[in-house]
Chains A and B, each alone.
Chain A
Amino acid sequence: MVFADMMKKLKFYIASLMVIAFFAGCGDEPVFTEMATNRLKVVIKGTLESEGTTNLNSSANPNVLPMEDDSVVNHPGSDGNMVPPTEFMLDIAELRLGGKKFANYRQVFKFDLGGTGIDVPFFNGDGVVLKNDDPPEGRYDTVQVYIRKMVFDKAQIYRSSGSGFVWDKEGEVLFHEKSVNGFDFNQLMVNSYWDSLRLEAADILRIFPLEVPIIGGLDYSRYDPETVLEIRFVIKNFVKKYEYPFYSEGLFKVSHYYALSDWLRDVRAGEDDIGRNIHAVARAYVPGKTGEVHVNGVTNQYIIMIPESEVITDYFITDTGMNLRDANEYDLPLPPKYPGNHIEAVLDYYLKYEKYKYDWKEKFEGIDDWDILSPVAHYEAYSAAWDTYEASVENFKIAPFVKYGSSPIDGSNPIVFRNVPPGVYKVYRANKPGYGELFHGSPASPFTEIDVNVIVNIGGEAIVN
């Protein structure tokens, strides 16, 4: 009785406090509940496709083109030690939305690249959930992923024997505080030939953060019980073998390692950087506030779908990355690196330097009117040529909805895009790109329009034929 009485009094006290609170203009946000709940679900995937496993071609032989990049010149060709990578390792430090920190948990993953059969969630369309604290309410158009390390395993180091190269040891790298076989290509994610010309060159490590556009935007509201932010990186079947030359105590060595394909920004012989070749896209949806799109009448093609506000020209480049770079006549050879104080290496260096001077002169004399233009005019033409090149590749994006397959025209087995936020969409189809490539034209668009006025309603099924 006494306790009940006390409770009654307590309730009265709280009630009166509430009344005072009302008059005092007390808050209406449940702060302590807010801190304990997580409404944003961040999912990462390693495929070009927005659902299911990838249909990009796989390659089994890393010792021949196209899996071996044409920049491998010191020790190219067949080598029994070099097998395709089996693991992809990813170390994420932080996530931000539009510059606002919302997850500062270090998250480390090892994904089995496997064969073409059963995939791990990162590669089979299910995705892997990243821990986060929710962002403040609002609209966001970009998500920044701070990637500490990206490693493919099966890296090998070879040393020069004078007449050729012999296997030295397995490449090793620290990953998650342990030494593992592999090569961290994150550190090479810059473009020295382009980025170092820029004023902002000091802060252009393109991977920390990696700026990922959220196509269609993310509208985050605390009133939606769950919002999903899906970030996709093109990793599966988008791998090439590269070569990293270095001197170790006077010995010339090369590390052969795997990294993402240089299809967009071609890597040339003598270039160590392989930067800005990671393709990522994000999209957001609120479960329960989405519709579906069914596509019929396609035969073994890629289907992409983008919101009405997007332009299709951002989703392909007009030629292969290699040809685009070939078109730049001011793409001059790079000088060799000074190897340190071992006499054989230094002698090597001077030989390479002579070769560099010769190559440079030859290339320079190939420029139109090279002997007429003044140095200033050359300088201006140089920056203009690189600006043109950059403009041809910098806007490339991958579509928020991508799927591959066949579907009969009668609608009996459609290709389905699920979890599509309401709105108007454009649907295109394209042929499957070659190994290590994405969509490029020559220069016409690789995409054929299917329907550019697909209206998606909540709970609805839009049929596209």
Chain B
Amino acid sequence: MKRKGIIFFVTLLIFFITADLFASASRKRYFNRPQLGIWFGPLTPMFETGETLEPALGAGAFFRYNTPIDELKIGFETSYQDYNSRGVDSLRLIPAYMDLVYLLPIDLPVRMQIKGGGGFCHVYMEPDDIRQWDPMLSTGLEISFPAGQMANIALRIDYLFIYEGHIDGSKNNGHVINAGISLYLNLNL
């Protein structure tokens, strides 16, 4: 009960702090619409994953929808990531996950958003021909530049953690960083 009270208080506080921002910046209104976008950029395997796989280029798509809280959107992300190794192995990842995107209340011409979420990642390894779904978590940062009422251009960086610890004999999990430039549209839904 006490905890709920604190959460309610903090939420209320955030509301009052940020309410002022809404009033002043009309530009942000466009940004607060549902958004549909694509991104393109380098994929960098990290840590133990980086010891076997080579960096690659990849692309993805996302959709974000508003929540009752203006700063918070709920999104769905997917992408196509094809990695080669120095040897014959290659790995294809297709993450599909939901995330929450939070717009940082900083009054700058650029919008900064942080995000976090989880879902599943389709993993296909060649030539062993293993294809399966693994659970995954993601977190990331996005800086976007409004380009008119319709479109935004953003730089984004995401860290994906593909979890395999629950599988027998597993020693490694998957770690990749996706950086990218993205273009997305503010939709009038």
List residues of A whose CB falls within 8 A of some B CB: 13-14, 17-18, 20-21, 24-37, 100-105, 131-137
A29 touches B132 (CB 8 A): yes
- Interface presence of B24 (CB below 8 A): no
Cα–Cα, bound, A104→B90 (Å): 12
The segment from B55-63, B99-107, B167-175 found at the interface with A is: B167-175
In the complex, chain A residues whose CB is within 8 Å of the CB of B112: none
Contacts of A34 in B (CB 8 A): 125, 128, 130
Whether A27 lies near B88 (C-beta < 8 A) is no
* A-contacting 9-mer, from B14-22, B28-36, B70-78, B158-166: B158-166
- Contact partners of A105 in chain B: CB under 8 A: 86-87
- Closest CB in chain B relative to A25 CB, distance in Å: 7
A21 touches B133 (CB 8 A): yes
Q: Which of A24, A33, A37, A101 has the largest number of chain B CB atoms within 10 A?
A: A33
State the CA gap A315–B134 with chains docked (Å).
51
Q: Is the CB of A30 within 8 A of B163?
A: no
When C-beta atoms are compared, the residue in chain B nearest to A105 turns out to be: B87
B52 contacts the other chain (CB 8 A): yes
Ranked 4 nearest A-B pairs via Cβ: A27-B132, A30-B170, A133-B87, A17-B135
List 16 A-B residue pairs with CB atoms under 8 Å apart, sorted by A's residue number.
Answer: A14-B165, A17-B137, A18-B166, A20-B135, A21-B134, A26-B133, A27-B130, A30-B171, A31-B123, A31-B130, A31-B134, A31-B164, A35-B91, A100-B127, A101-B127, A131-B87
Q: Is the CB of B51 within 8 A of A36?
A: yes
Q: How far is the CA of A70 from the CA of B85 in the complex (A)?
A: 49
Bound Cα distance from A254 to B87, whole angstroms: 41
Chain B minimum-CB-distance residue to A101: B88
- In the bound assembly, the distance between CA atoms of A37 and B123 in angstroms comes to 17
Enumerate chain A residues within 8 angstroms of B168, measured Cβ to Cβ: 28, 30
Whether A27 contacts B127 in the complex (CB less than 8 A), given A21-B120, A33-B170, comes out as no
CB-CB under 8 A from A102, the residues of chain B are 88, 127
Q: Let me know if B95 is at the binding interface, CB within 8 A.
A: no
Nearest CB in chain A: distance from B165 CB, A:
8
* Listed residue (A21, A29, A100, A104) with the most chain B CB atoms within 10 angstroms of its CB: A29
Chain B minimum-CB-distance residue to A102:
B88
Report the minimal beta-carbon distance from A104 to chain B, rounded to whole angstroms. 5
Chain A residues with CB below 8 A from B163, complex form: 14, 17
Name the A residues within 8 Å of B125 (CB-CB): 31, 34-35
| B129: A residues at CB distance < 8 A | 136
- Taking a contact as CB atoms under 8 Å apart, the answer to whether B52 and A35 are in contact is yes
A131: which B residues are within 8 A, CB to CB?
A: 87
Task: Name the CB-closest residue of A to B162.
Answer: A32
- Tell me the smallest distance from the CB of B184 to a CB of chain A, in Å: 27
Q: Given A21-B120, A24-B133, A33–B166 Cβ distance below 8 Å?
A: no
* Minimal beta-carbon separation of B91 from chain A (angstroms): 7
B115 to chain A, nearest CB (A): 16
Whose C-beta in chain B lies nearest to the C-beta of A17? B135
Report A-chain residues with C-beta under 8 Å of the C-beta of B133.
21, 24-27
The residue of chain A having its C-beta at the shortest distance from the C-beta of B93 within the complex is A31
Asked whether, in the complex, the Cβ of B132 is within 8 Å of the Cβ of A104, the reply is no
Chain A neighbourhood of B127, CB < 8 A:
100-102, 135-136
Q: How far is the CA of A25 from the CA of B122 in the complex (A)?
A: 12
What are the residues of chain A within 8 A of B85 when measuring CB–CB?
35, 133
Tell me, yes or no, whether B53 is within 8 Å of chain A by CB. yes
Q: Which residues of B contact A28 (CB under 8 A)?
A: 132, 167-168
Flag if B49 contacts A32 (CB, 8 Å). yes
- Docked CA distance A248–B170 (Å): 62
Q: Say whether, besides A14-B135, A30-B164, A133-B89, A35 and B120 are in contact (CB < 8 Å).
A: no
Residues of A within 8 A of B118 (CB): 13, 17
Distance to closest chain A CB from B118 (angstroms) = 6
Bound form: Cα–Cα A135–B130 in Å: 12
Of all chain A residues, the one with the shortest Cβ separation from B51 is A36
Apart from A17-B163, A29-B167, what 10 extra A-B contacts exist at CB < 8 Å?
A14-B163, A17-B118, A18-B166, A24-B120, A27-B134, A28-B168, A31-B132, A36-B51, A133-B87, A136-B129
The chain B residue with its CB closest to the CB of A94 is B88
Min CB distance, A283 to chain B, in Å? 23
Instruction: Note all chain A residues with C-beta closer than 8 A to B174.
Output: 31-32
Residues of B close to A25: CB separation below 8 A = 133
Contact A26 B135 (CB under 8 A): yes
Which residues of chain B in 28-46 are interfacial with respect to chain A, using CB atoms and an 8 Å cutoff?
none
Instruction: Report Cα–Cα, A137/B118, bound state, in Å.
Output: 32
Q: Which residues of A contact B86 (CB under 8 A)?
A: 105
Closest residue of B by beta carbon distance from A30: B170
Q: Which residue of B lies closest to A15 (CB)?
A: B166
Closest to B49 in A: A32
Q: How far is the CA of A133 from the CA of B88 in the complex (A)?
A: 7
Please, how many angstroms separate the alpha-carbon atoms of A20 and B91 in the complex? 24
Q: Are A32 and B135 in contact (CB under 8 A)?
A: no
